[in-house]
Chain A
């Protein structure tokens, strides 16, 4: 039994190490993009020990992006991104399938707005975990529109936050 016990515990350790290696690989090899944040409802920003980040690309107007398809709640989608003059990325189109040859981020429809043309999209990069008490600084920065988030994109468009930048400097 001892041997079996040791084997199971070793597998658990390997699972944790594998998890770290996988995320680290993602950070190291993913396409790095910078996203602009937008102010969020102040009552909702700071919950316990993480900051809620709102993004410009979280609200998509399908008419403005000249997308004809419509999307339902909870549906997976791929948002095609283009670099702006200030090195941040903005949404230029939306796809139901992963596009080829362009930079895109994968998300999921949270809410569908009026006439099914406005989408509220979640990308899985809305939380930034931080020590208790530090959230206020980031909250203020976000609301003053100075906060940028560096995201590493996996090949299938899934994003992972790698850095938080305030006025171009990294927040630790």
Chain B
């Protein structure tokens, strides 16, 4: 981290801390303003030169473009470039961007953000290399080992350098692998493909969330806890959202995925225990971890033991499952938004509100599509959404403003 960046970071933290100092009567409000004014110049510089996040975004986009460019170049000249030539391009560009990135960020220290993005580029080219080798040997397009090796291969870098971008890349790779690998093991004939897959993703979302909480509780890992929590929450809620529709077709899990269920549940339990043993926890941690545990237990137990229902019991069972899913989903949303309020966590609030809106839209369609004439349906729907948007935006702005400081974990 460069010295200017460290100063900005310090300024942000100072603003958070100083409120507490005033509250505890350590300093007077007047002193607070004086102290803050001393660092105001730095803030202005930050605003003029564009916020650090913008630089990060631009350089990350640059890395992705170069990565895609290299892949396209090889693809377009497939038969002209000999095998070793393709591999040479991959190896040399991967090592070059890793090396240059490390040099800029940690040795010379003058372009830390660009350096970080170059290291991300190296990780992207590493993945491209895996798929290129698979292509050279004509391995079928369906290749779950590819994302698996990619994800596991870049994970150590994410931990060593504490990179949220590379960690997110690794998590997404592993989630893709999970979907590809498990779809091999779900029988299209005997199982309910959608529900089985969605339940599996629900479990993996909860597991990621739990791993994230565990990371948050330990100081040395706190910096990289947010990819786990954000991706985990998004996956959990997306899966829960799908379950609120009429997707249930008589079965939930499949025996082909028992290993996946057990490993995910095991990972979640280990993270949960480590989290419980750790010293520092945030407000509302107990309801959060208990809800996650109950949701995990419910999904695992249903996936393992839910017996295929008979044809006669079909309709009522479908109703029970769909209704329960809807109820649980609504509770999840309320829980997440409340947690966001208690903890002043904007990420939780935003995710909660997003799925709240999606849920309202879906239920509106479910209930009123058949009952109202189409024109009235659309007009009323539009009015509800618009006024809902106004209310939500107002509310959201007020809540975020009341937090009055930037969340460290975003």
Asked if A100 is at the interface of the complex by the 8 Å CB criterion, the answer is no
In chain B, residues 156-196, which have Cβ atoms closer than 8 Å to a Cβ of chain A? Answer: 156-157, 160-161, 184-190
List B contacts of A23 (CB < 8 A). 133, 136-137
Which bucket holds chain B's interface residue count? 35 or more
Cβ–Cβ contact A172 & B79, under 8 A: yes
Tell me whether A49 and B78 are in contact in the complex, defined as CB-CB below 8 angstroms, given that A2-B106, A5-B102, A12-B126 are known contacts.
yes
In chain A, residues 4-50, which have Cβ atoms closer than 8 Å to a Cβ of chain B? 4-5, 8-9, 11-13, 15-16, 19-20, 23, 26-27, 49-50
With A8-B156, A12-B126, A13-B95 in contact, is A127–B186 under 8 Å at CB? no
Q: Which residues of A contact B185 (CB under 8 A)?
A: 74
**Residues in chain A near residue B80, CB distance under 8 A:** 131
Cβ of B149 within 8 Å of any chain A Cβ, yes or no, is yes
1/0 per residue, CB under 8 A from B, across A69-92: the answer is 000111000000000000000000
- What number of residue pairs across chains A and B have CB atoms under 8 A from each other? 100
Asked whether, in the complex, the Cβ of B95 is within 8 Å of the Cβ of A160, the reply is no
Give every chain A residue within 8 A of B122 (Cβ-Cβ): 9
A170 to B381, CA, bound (A): 62
Size of the chain A interface, CB-CB below 8 angstroms: 38
A134 part of interface (Cβ distance < 8 Å) = yes
Contacts of A148 in B (CB 8 A): none
A130 is an interface residue with CB less than 8 A from chain B: yes
Dominant secondary structure of chain B at its interface with chain A: helix
Beta-carbon contact of A127 and B75 below 8 Å: no
The minimal Cβ–Cβ distance linking B365 to chain A, given in whole angstroms, is 33
Residues of A at under 8 Å CB distance from B?
1-2, 4-5, 8-9, 11-13, 15-16, 19-20, 23, 26-27, 49-50, 72-74, 108, 111-112, 122, 124-132, 134, 160-161, 172
- Interface pairs A-B: 6 shortest CB-CB: A131-B78, A161-B138, A129-B135, A23-B137, A131-B79, A124-B140
Could you write out 29 A-B pairs with CB less than 8 Å apart? A5-B157, A8-B156, A8-B160, A9-B95, A9-B122, A9-B157, A11-B156, A12-B126, A13-B95, A15-B153, A19-B133, A50-B141, A73-B187, A73-B190, A111-B188, A122-B140, A124-B142, A125-B140, A126-B140, A127-B139, A127-B141, A128-B138, A129-B135, A129-B138, A130-B79, A132-B76, A160-B138, A160-B139, A161-B137
Interface residues of B (CB under 8 A from A): 75-80, 87, 90-91, 94-95, 98, 102, 106, 122, 126, 129-130, 133, 135-142, 149, 153-154, 156-157, 160-161, 184-190, 256
